[in-house]
Amino acid sequence: LNQFHDILPGSAIAWVHRQARTEYARDIARLNEIALEAGRAIAVVEPDDATITDAVIAPYSRQACETWVVRPASSRAEAGTASMARVAVTHDGDTIVLDNGRLHVRIEADGTVSSIVDQRTNRELVPAGTRLGRYEMLKDEPFHWDAWDIQRDAFLTANALSEASIASVDETANGGAVVHAVTRAKGVEIRTGIVLRPGSATLDFTADVDWHAVEQFLKVDMPVTVQAVNAQYECQYGLVERPINKNTRSDDAKFESCTHRFVRIADADYAAAVVNASTYGSDVSPIHADAAHGTGRGTMVRLSLLSAPLYPDPRTDQGAHS
Domain boundaries defined on the chain:
14-82, 129-321
Its CATH class, for the domain covering 129-321, is: mainly beta
Confidence (pLDDT) at 71:
43
Confidence (pLDDT) at 316:
86
Confidence (pLDDT) at 7:
75
Confidence (pLDDT) at 10:
74
Confidence (pLDDT) at 5:
73
Rounded-to-integer distance, Cα 290 and Cα 285, Å: 15
Confidence (pLDDT) at 47:
56
Q: What is the pLDDT of residues 145-166, one digit of tens each?
A: 888 888 888 888 899 999 999 9
Are 179 and 80 spatial neighbours (Cβ–Cβ below 8 Å)? no
Confidence (pLDDT) at 45:
56
Confidence (pLDDT) at 11:
83
Are 197 and 204 spatial neighbours (Cβ–Cβ below 8 Å)? yes
Angle, CA of 262, 267 and 272, to the nearest 5°: 35
CA 235 to chain centre: 16
List, run by run, the mean pLDDT of 10-residue segments along the chain (322 residues).
74 86 93 88 59 49 45 45 79 96 97 97 96 95 86 89 96 94 97 96 96 95 95 92 93 89 93 86 92 87 93 89 90
